[in-house]
A = this chain, B = another copy of it.
Amino acid sequence: MLSEFLVTEMARGGDADRLPLHRQLYEALRRAVLDGQLSAGDRLPSSRELTQDLGLSRNTVVAALNQLAVEGYLVSRVGSGTFVNDELPRAKARSKAHRAHAPVAQLSRRGTALSTTFCATQLEIQPFTPGPADFSAFPVALWQRLQNKHWRMTYPDMLDYSYSGGHAPLRRAVAQYLRMFRSVPLDIDQVIITSGTQQSLELCAQLLADHGDTVWLEDPAYWGAVKAFMATGLHLHAVPVDEHGMAPRTADEQRAPRLIYTTPSHQYPTGAVMSLTRRQQLLSIAEAHKAWILEDDYDSEFRFSGPPLSSLAGLDHSERVLYMGSFSKVLYPGLKLGYLVVPKRLVDAFKQAHYDLNRPGQMPLQAALAEFIELGHFASALRRARQGYAQRRQSLLEALQPCLGPSAQISGAEQGLHLCLRLPVHVDDTALVQRIAGLGLTVRALSAYCLERTDAKGVVIGYGYAPLVQIARFGPVLARAIAAELA
């Protein structure tokens, strides 16, 4: 029974060519515990039995069991074997129904909204999941060396909070990078190191808008930003996106914005690149309404055709743009370091509030990152990543070719780590995505990102995470599923 479950789990992982066997077994066993296939207190077959049943090497089995023991899933009792830790909470049937029927725990209204709408789920990361980048090639050994160097020369201040917007060498490195590659004119002083875009957004919303003030968001929108604005009590006003990016209508101006949140380099999720005219228009609107533009320049690093468009911040003469980015796509997500560039007149207030609200720290990590950038490792990681992603993108584009036509067109493939296949408005893209999930592939429905509009249908397809070989292998599968829908 158990070994069958494990074999099935390991087989359908779909990650067969990436994860080492002991990791696959680890995942399968963990799933067995979490799904209730194994219950708290259950005795496991011995490693010898598992070795035989699964046809794996003893080392593989032992490595997986050890890891699970370290993490507390399993406990060993001398002389009697290995058991599922009976301190584990009783496994819950993982069903959608569970969530739906969970007692509403007396959350506040915003708490309920925050924990039930636009929720990221820990999807099985499968080929074509939009969002994640591939950080498996991150130079861990080099990173460790740099960290060690800075820990060795650590003086007590480095262990303290960071008072002045972040470690100065890192702020300098960020300023140089942004001046050079994003035409953002700035002084080092204007750079604030944050724990990433979520914190940057929250800080902007807290300092620049009051409860009930209006934020213009792109429709369809990036969930993370939606959440940050919900949490800070703003009124969300949806502005549709077309092929030139955010497209404000005359009527929108009746709902005067206090903040305008935009992703001009590669609109999330449609992938539209904002035209220069549109950029100028947004800047004029911001000036007319004394509003602030929050420019989230995520994905600007990965441009595949043509030179990068310069940022909104680079066009801004009225100091109305706050520019933000993070290192998570080029380095790794868990790093939790990003940057926010604020106009000079806001610097003092932002640094003060950032310190008081967030007590930023992680200075040795910031120092290692500064040196990583200064020594050119960031640039080479970026170059390598760009090449790798370009191949994956090419492979995906080729695979999708057969299902393209007047009613199925690609948008947003010039840049970033995902593209969007736009479909006719009558298509039920949610159902399509579920059918595709049945094939072991993860894409997202464009409509799932929509705030108000009902005319945006399609599938958002990521090529950042899965290796080229998987894209080449599963791309045609995906294309056939989509073509079948359109037939």
Among A70-78, A386-394, A442-450, A467-475, the one that faces the other chain is: A70-78
- A193-207 near B? 1/0 per residue, CB < 8 Å: 001101100100011
Q: Which of B70, B111, B232, B350 contacts A207 (CB 8 A)?
A: B111
- Nearest-CB distance from A393 to chain B (Å)? 19
- Considering the complex of A and B, which 9 residue pairs feature the smallest CB-CB distances, nearest first? A334-B361, A72-B276, A111-B207, A159-B332, A115-B349, A336-B361, A105-B345, A108-B210, A122-B163
CB-CB under 8 A from A192, the residues of chain B are none
* Cβ contact of A209, chosen from B108, B162, B180, B280, cutoff 8 A: B108
Residue of B nearest to A276 (CB): B72
Interface residues of A, count at CB 8 A: 129
A290 partner residues in chain B, CB cutoff 8 A: 106
Chain B residues near A318 (CB-CB < 8 A): 98
* Partner pick for A147 among B147, B160, B359, CB 8 A cutoff: B147
**A114 to B350 CA separation, bound complex (whole angstroms):** 9
> A232 — which chain B residues lie within 8 A by C-beta?
231-232
Bound complex: CA A357 to CA B200 (Å) = 11
Contact with B along A41-71 (1 / 0, CB 8 A): 0000000000000000000000000110011
A398: chain B residues at CB < 8 Å are none
Chain B residues, Cβ within 8 Å of A207: 107-108, 110-111, 114-115
* Distance in angstroms between the alpha carbons of A172 and B333 in the assembled complex: 23
Whole-angstrom distance from the CB of A442 to the nearest CB of chain B? Answer: 15
CB within 8 Å of B: which A191-236 residues: 195-196, 198-199, 202, 206-211, 213, 223-224, 227-228, 231-233
Which residues, 138 to 160 on A, are CB-close (under 8 Å) to B? 138, 140, 143-144, 147-148, 151-152, 154-156, 158-160
Q: In the bound complex, do residue A114 and residue B196 qualify as a contact, i.e. CB atoms below 8 Å apart? A: no
Q: Which residues of A (156-204) have their CB < 8 Å from a CB of B?
A: 156, 158-164, 168-169, 172, 176, 179-180, 183, 187-189, 195-196, 198-199, 202
User: In the complex, what residue of chain B is closest to A109 when comparing beta carbons?
Assistant: B210
Name which of A294-302, A304-312, A375-383, A418-426 contacts chain B.
Answer: A304-312
A94 at the interface (CB under 8 A from B): yes
Give chain B residues whose Cβ lies under 8 Å from the Cβ of A98: 318
State whether the Cβ of A21 lies closer than 8 Å to any Cβ in chain B.
no
| A contact set with B: CB distance below 8 Å | 15, 18-19, 23, 27, 30, 34, 66-67, 70-73, 85, 87-89, 92, 94, 98-99, 102-112, 114-116, 118-120, 122, 132, 135-136, 138, 140, 143-144, 147-148, 151-152, 154-156, 158-164, 168-169, 172, 176, 179-180, 183, 187-189, 195-196, 198-199, 202, 206-211, 213, 223-224, 227-228, 231-233, 258, 275-277, 280-281, 284, 290, 306-307, 309-310, 314-315, 317-319, 332-336, 343, 345-346, 348-350, 352-353, 355-364
Whether the pair A138, B111 counts as a contact (CB closer than 8 A) is no
CB <8 Å contact, B188 and A72? yes
A122–B264 CA distance with the chains assembled, in angstroms = 37
Contact B336 A72 (CB under 8 A): no
Q: Could you tell me the distance between the alpha carbons of A267 and B170 in the complex, rounded to whole angstroms?
A: 37
In the assembled complex, the Cα of A106 lies from the Cα of B213 at a distance in Å of 14
